[in-house]
Amino acid sequence: MRKTLRAEVAPAARTACAGAPIAPSVPRHMCRSAPLESNEELLQVGIGTAGWSLPRSVADAFPRAGTHLQRYGEVLNCTEINSSFYRSHSAEVYARWASQTPRGFRFAVKIPRAITHEGRLRAARVPLQRFIAEASGLADKLAVLLVQLPPWLAFEQRPAHRFFGLLSEMFRGAVMCEPRHGSWFEPAAERLLVATQVGRVAADPARWPTAAVPGGWLGPVGEGTGAVVYHRWHGSPRTYWSKYDDGWLRARAAELHRWPAGADRWCIFDNTASGAAASNALGLRAIAESARQAISRS
């Protein structure tokens, strides 16, 4: 991370990379990451939680006035909407959420389980159209669509290729997949994700060794530049409950530092059941800010 984080995207392409589909003339890889606005943001990463709950234990770290989302958005710069997995929200609801966050704030939205679990990625055109139309209420703050697959869903070339190809036609932002069956970590699945420009989430705890590191689409030359590098940290050893300690956070910050400047790094804490997610996000943010200040002084 020796350079500033700045994707090589023309202004027109940046505008087109909102949640709504864009003209085919804009190459999809140009929509994979949004540029930062200042050279001072050398160590800028997207740090947030699944949802925007503010536990009482960390409430003082956020402004007192406003809705939970307004307060959250003044401190953390992204969030992952998981409620969309269970139920639909109108475009107006998404637009209201977007209006409560500052400029530059970004949302990832989880694709409904009716598509990923019940539908097994098949017959997805109509439900995908409906979902994307709703989520597009976020406008240019819609940055990522998250496809989390069930642990029992094995990789099948034909339906996977059809699904991700269809999603590519409908949405030109970043698409991230969190597979949880071992067959998705084999070479055939990796080739498909690269071909369809779908990133593979780095998850903790990792069900498979390679699940711990980002994979799939990692940009035009495969080293992260021009792509979203997305981490989902669910809590370990007790999934959704355990809090990560400072040593673990510092190790992850060091790993983030090794990605090239043009990689759009996201870190989402999903250990929300005990309220640990917000605390961990604040901790990682403090480590990143400390590192940024040290570099700016050097």
Rg (CA), the chain: 18
Encode 109-147: b = buried (16+ Cβ within 10 Å), e = exposed: bbbbebbbeebbbeebeebbeebbebbbbbebbbbbbbb
- The domain total for the chain is 1
Q: What tens digit of pLDDT does each residue of 219-231 get?
A: 999 999 999 999 9
3-state secondary structure of 135: helix
Q: Does some domain include residue 5?
A: no
- Residue 24, domain CATH: 3.20.20.410
The 10 Å Cβ neighbour count of residue 154 is 14
CB 220 within 8 A of CB 32: no
For the beta sheet containing 199-200, the strands, ordered from the edge strand earlier in sequence to the opposite edge, are: 202-204, 228-233, 264-269, 46-50, 78-81, 106-110, 142-148, 174-178, 199-200, 215-216
Q: Does some domain include residue 6?
A: no
Q: How confident is the model at residue 236 (pLDDT cuts 50, 70, 90)?
A: very high
Q: How confident is the model at residue 32 (pLDDT cuts 50, 70, 90)?
A: very low
Q: Does some domain include residue 15?
A: yes
Mean pLDDT across the chain: 87
Strand partners, 49: 79, 269
Q: Does some domain include residue 113?
A: yes
pLDDT value, residue 279: 97
Q: Does some domain include residue 4?
A: no
Q: Does some domain include residue 255?
A: yes
| Torsions phi, psi for 90 (to 5 deg) | -70, 160
CB 283 within 8 A of CB 249: yes
In the chain, what percentage of residues exceed pLDDT 70?
Answer: 84
| H-assigned helices in 136-212 | 157-170, 187-195
Query: Where in the sequence is the domain holding 165, given as residue range(s)?
Result: 11-297
Parallel/antiparallel/unpaired status of strands 78-81 and 202-204: unpaired
